[in-house]
Each structure stands twice: as C-alpha cells, then as structure tokens.
Structure 1
Amino acid sequence: MLVYKLKFLSALHVDSKGTGSPETAQEFIHSDTISAALCTCWGNLYPDLKADFFSQPEYIISSAFPYIRDVLFFPIPKFRIWGESSLSEIKTYKSVNWISQKVLEMVLSGKIIERSEVFVNKQFAYTKNESQVEDLINCNPWILSERQRVNVDRLGGQSDAGTFFFAQQHFHPECGLFFIAKTSNTKSLESVISFLGDTGIGADRNSGLGHFRVREKIALNIKLPEKYDGSLTLSLYNPGPDDNLIRQTSSCAYNITSRSGWISGSSAGRPPIRVFEEGSYFTGQTSGRVVNLINKNLVNKYNLPLKHDVFRDFRSLSLPCAEPSWIKGAN
C-alpha cells in the first residue's frame, strides 16, 4: 500500500454530507469523495475505459487524514482505547479526534493506552517519540476561516439575494492530508492524482480552491499485529455480497453516517445512503461494494439531467486489528 501526502496550494472546502450550508466544512476528505473525483479525472485522461470501470475502479483508497511533518494521524477508533482514567482525563480524551501512527500500532495490537505513554494536545494524541509535531499543534496545523460572499438573484426578485459566509480550510505549509491506496496500476493512478491536483477537489474549484500537489509518495510502513481477530476500517464501508455481517458484527464497534450530496456537473442530488464510518472495528475481513445510486432506469423514469449512472465507492480499506480489550470484556 502506498501513502500519498498532499500539499494544498490553496484553501479547501469540503462538505461531504451535502448539507448545503457553506458556513460549515469538514476537516478531512471521505474516501467516497476522493474516489469519485479520481474516477472523473480518470475518465478525462483515459476516455477509452472499460464499460465496468466506474462500477469497479482499479484502486481501493482510504479517506484523507491529516499529517504533520513526518507524522501521519489516523481517526480515533470507535471503541475505547484508554485505560482506567480519572474524570479530568476522560474529559481530555473526549477532545481527541486523531491518533498518531505509533499510537495506532499499539491499538492494532490490542494494547490499552495509558496516559503516561502519550501526549494529548488539543484533538491529537501522539507518543513521546513523535513530539516533533508539538509546536505545530500548538499553533494549529490548519485553521478554518469564513469568507463573506454575495448571493445574487439573477431572476430579478429579492427573496434569494443577500450575503452568506463560506468556510475555508487553510493548512500550515508543513501540514496537509494524506490517503492510502492499493492498486495494480500505479502509473495511471499517479497520473490521475496529479491531474486531480491541477483541477482541484471539493467546492469552488473554478475559483482556485482545492488545488494540491503530491508532496511525497511513500510505502505504508506500519507495524501490524501477528495475531488479530478483525479489521479496523480506514475508509467508509458499506457491506457487499462478499461480507458476512453475522460474523463481522459478532464483536464490533462502529458509527453509522448518512452520505448524500450533489452530482458533479448537474443540479441533481444524490439519494442518501447509510455507511460505516472510518475507525470502525469488525470481526474478520471487510470488503464493501460500489453502489449504483442512480441507474439509467431511474434517469429515464424521472427525466433526470444525467447522461450516466451514478456510482459511489464504499469498498473497505482496512488494517488487521486484534480484538479490543473493552469489547472482549463486554462480550
């Protein structure tokens, strides 16, 4: 598996849930958003694609998570990773959204994390060997700003006219987002990623937002457990025909989110679909599927302004993980 570290050349706005509220923005990019953007760019670069390419792309990717200098951060798992804690420590742990690679390795091995083993700073947890990130965390690896904009009513009425605020995410020069990819066609994928960086990802790409370049490509060098019972997801996951949900949920910890939004190049919206979030734990392996949200029959039936099916990629990219102690105790 390869890690692509992205350096953003401009601000970023991602509202992956399709809330329609420009005042809010997510601080990372979900895997289905990245996959859809890559598919679009792949079709533009390589127009002679197989008919089934969009229903089964030549890659599986994770969501895009933050990095600070050389330290990669991953979403905190949906199960408890901390040992016995005081009330003040519990309040501190609640603020943690991201754990470093070293902390993740301890979690994958089934180890309970003690307070003395990690630093907790704002929404980040990292080990003493990764303390080189502390100064950037103190001064914020990214900030969210709001830009006031004008909504012009082009039909001559007054009801839709006015101002609104648009959220933008700005990264420190030594920080950004990374994602993990598995593919048998590395050369084409990297050409598509480069093209995506030129066109941008997220909202307002034509205004210069979301543009990036690949700062660094490295092999994922992570210590995996020798003995494991399940998988920890690093992407959104919707079970497919190859998944045994009865076994997977025999010992599990997860959150479910609803994914919706707008279809690029049209005024049509995507129907919502429920998926498992990143950081979920399931017994055994997870595969997932690519979902055809809007097929040609629906396009014709409702006369939608589309010329193609609408696919969404919820295949799972996961890491082997020992059964968490707190789940084992509960069972």
Structure 2
Amino acid sequence: MSSWKLVKLNFGRNPVHFGRLGIGMEETAERVQSDTLFSAWVSNYARLFGKAKVEELLERFPKYSKYAKNSNQESPAVKISSTFIYRQTEGKTTEPKTTYYLPRPMEFPINYPENDLDFFKTYKKQKYLPLEIWRRWYQGEGFTSKDKDELTEKTKNKQTDGNLNKSGMFDYGKTYEINKHPKIAVDRITAATNFFHTGLVQFQWENEISGLYFLLNFPQKDEKLEKELKAALELLGEEGLGGERSSGAGRFTIEWLDRLPEPWDKVIKSPGTHNTLISLFWDSPITENFIENAAYEIQERGGWIGDVNLRRKMVRMFTEGSVFSEQPQGKLVDVTPSQLIDGGKYKFHPVYRSGISLTLPIKIKDIAQ
C-alpha cells in the first residue's frame, strides 16, 4: 500500500546557499532540487547507519550503470520530490494559513483562452502557483474569465483584489530575500587574498514563516525505512544543506507530517489525463513515443564530489513542471568520474544521481483545440 508524507524544512534565521551549474557564488537558488536532496540525504544515511546499510538501500532502486549491477526492482524504495516554498501567515482573527507553492505545469490549464495577449506576460511570470490555484486550474474547473480579468489588471500594474491575489499567487517573491555577503579567500601558499561576494537566501522568520517543503512517496509502506530516513534527515538538518555550511548556513529543523494536510490528499488522488513532474527525472532509454505530445524542459546537472574534489559526470534531466501523457519512472544514474574507475572497477564507491520521478495527476487543455 502506497504511503505519502509531507516534510517541512524550517531554516529559522539561518541563511542558505544553493548553487547551480554555471552560476557563480554571487548567485543562489531559493530551493533545492530532488537529485541534490537525495544525495545529501543518502550521504547522511551512510554516516548514521554505515556502508553496508546504505548499499542495501541503494539496491532497492532501479539504476543505470555501465559497471555496477543494475537493480531489478520494479519500483524504488521511496520517491522524493524537489523542495518548494511554503509560506505560513497568521491573521488577527483567523487560524494560521499555510500556502504551498507548486511549479506551474508546462501546458495550459483547461479553459485557457486562445487570445491571451492582454495578460500572457503576467501569466508566464507565475512559475510557481499556490496549491489552491494549481488544483483549481489543473484538477478542477480550470481557468476562468475572472482569472483572465485579474491577470489583465495585474499586467496593467493595477491593484487587484481577486482570488488570484488572495491566494498569494503574486507574493512568491516576498517569501525570501537574497543578500550578497562580502568574503575574502586567502591562498594557503602565497597568502594572496581574493575578495568576492556570496549570495545567501534568507527565508522570512519574523511576522510570517517561510521555508521549504517536499513530498515523499513510499510505493510500499515501510515503517522501518521511514524512521531511518527521518533520523538521517534530522542529522542533515544539524549539518546543513547546500553551500557555506562552515559559516552556519543551511541548518534547519524538520516537521515530518505522517498524514497529508488538506487538500493534499485530494490532490494526489485526483483523476487526471497527464502527469506533471514535481522532481527531476532521468531514464534510459527514452523513446519517441514517450516524448510525443509532451511538454518539457531539459536541465544539465553536474557538481562536485566533496571528498575527492572531482566533478561528477554531467547528465541532462527533465525539469519540474514537465508534462507527459505516460507515467515516467526514472533511475539512479551512475555519474562516477572516470578517474575513480579502473578497468570497470570502482576505486572507492559508485556515485549516483537520482533521476527517480515523482509526479502529480493533472488535466490540461486539449492540445488539439
């Protein structure tokens, strides 16, 4: 029996630095994607439970590797979404309200008008939608004339008081701030100095609380694995997630919800015609039939292996918000650098990047319309 969990990461006053391929230290993303979260989580799982235990865990995932023995598991032990922002606000006379943001699928919702020149620019800017609007557009009645009117007013820089504004659609950028902090690097040999800036994200923590959340899906309920993963995540919270951890960045506490809050249970059980990614996705082979009529973007994923200061092999992955008519599955892909492989044998251990997909069901505008 499938089991779903929602996990919140509360960073409090701790800043974070989430780097991206091709972006310098001055820039930072506001969230962590599923492959990075998986790698950091599994590394702390290994530290907590040892080499044999983590190897046993990895054998429960389908893999693609030129050297290692591929797993024959039909489904992975767990599927992990990327992290997304949540925002918790308190009203003077109402209960605290939590807004969960989800990536906007790369297809138009049902009833989306053909003539959208008056508001398309504003619509396109909304890369993340509040769950309330996401669900209505992609699982409910779809796009409405009131949505069109409100987006048109917003495009004209006019104040709006409609459902989109009340849902928090236009407040995504208010959930965090990006600050640049000056730093100096000192060469160990010459003592020469290098001045630079590091970008750090600060989530809201005073009048309102914002942070990151992600979804977990266990295809088969496994209470023992859940407890072990929760312990490893708590350890990761103490160590920190992302860069600049030596400066105290990236530390968080967790809120592990064993029961999905409303209306998440309805979201995952809703019938749909297509599937939209809420994680990164990689698989091989990818057939032409699979990507036919799909809407997707590709992102290159690389990065460093901290222990040996070598770059992982680069892979190209489907991004969050991509839409497919078939259900994507995904694999762990071997990204071990060639310097760590000798004659088909690993000098240390294989290095994997997670391409295991997690999706939500949606209904979209008929492409033939």
Given the two structures, how large is their TM-score scaled by the length of structure 2? 0.77
| 3-state SS, counterpart of residue 291 of structure 1 | strand
C-alpha deviation, 1:270, in angstroms: 1.2
Give every structure 1 segment of 4 or more consecutive aligned residues whose post-TM-superposition deviation is greater than 6 Å: 118-122
Q: What's the CA shift for 1:86?
A: 4.6
Residue 69 (structure 2) aligns with: none
Match of 2:354 among 286, 304, 313: 313
Single out whichever of 215-224 and 247-256 deviates more from structure 2: 215-224
- Per-residue Cα deviation, 1:216-257 (whole angstroms, up to 9, x for no partner): 52414233575433211100001246xx63332222100001
Name stretches of at least 5 consecutive residues in structure 1 with no aligned partner: none
Q: Call closer, same or farther: CA 1:132–1:88 in 2, change over 3 Å.
A: closer
Amino acid aligned to 1:114: T
1:189 maps to which of 208, 217, 229: 229
Partner of residue 196 from structure 2, selected from 164, 180, 183: 164
* Distance 1:106-1:44 versus aligned 2 partners, 3 A rule: same
| 1:212 alignment partner AA | F
**Equivalent pairs: percent with the same residue?**
23
Work out whether 1:141 is the aligned partner of 2:184: no
Query: For 2:244 and 2:126, how far apart are their aligned partners in 1?
Result: 30
* Equivalent residue number for residue 93 of structure 1: 123
* Residue 276 of structure 1: how far off its partner (Å): 0.3
Give the 3 Å change call, closer, same or farther, for CA 79–99 of structure 1 in structure 2: same
C-alpha distance after superposition, 1:191-216 (max 9, x if no partner): 11111111110001122100001145
| Residues 106, 296 of structure 2: 8 Å contact kept | yes
CA contact (8 A) 2:45 2:232 kept: yes
Q: Deviations over 1:241-294 (max 9, x none)?
A: 6xx633322221000010011113231111211000001011121100000111
Change (3 A) 1:139 1:315: closer
Q: 1:151 aligns with which of 175, 185, 188?
A: 185
How far apart, in 1, do the equivalents of 2:173 and 2:352 lie? 40
CA distance in 1, matches of 2:360, 2:122: 27
- Give the strand-richer structure, 1 or 2: 1
Separation in 1 of the partners of 2:10 and 2:49?
25
Letter in 1 for 2:350: D
Q: Is the 8 A contact 1:5 1:178 kept in 2?
A: yes
What SS does structure 2 have at the residue aligned with 1:315?
coil
Deviation (angstroms), 1:111: 5.2
Match of 2:106 in 1: 78
In structure 1, the partner of 2:73 is: none
* Cross-structure match for 2:279: 235
Structure 2 gaps of 5+ residues are 62-75, 89-97, 156-160
Measure, in 2, the Cα distance between the counterparts of 1:149 and 1:306: 36
Q: Is the 8 A contact 1:101 1:222 kept in 2?
A: no
Identify which of 61, 68, 77 aligns with 2:80: 61
Q: Is the 8 A contact 1:266 1:306 kept in 2?
A: no
The CA deviation at 1:6 is: 1.1
Hey, what does 2:212 align to over in structure 1?
177
Could you say if the C-alpha distance between residues 22 and 5 of structure 1 is closer, same or farther in structure 2, counting changes exceeding 3 Å? same
User: How far off its partner does 1:28 sit?
Assistant: 1.2
* Aligned position for 2:146: 116
1:207/1:235 CA distance change after superposition, 3 Å? same
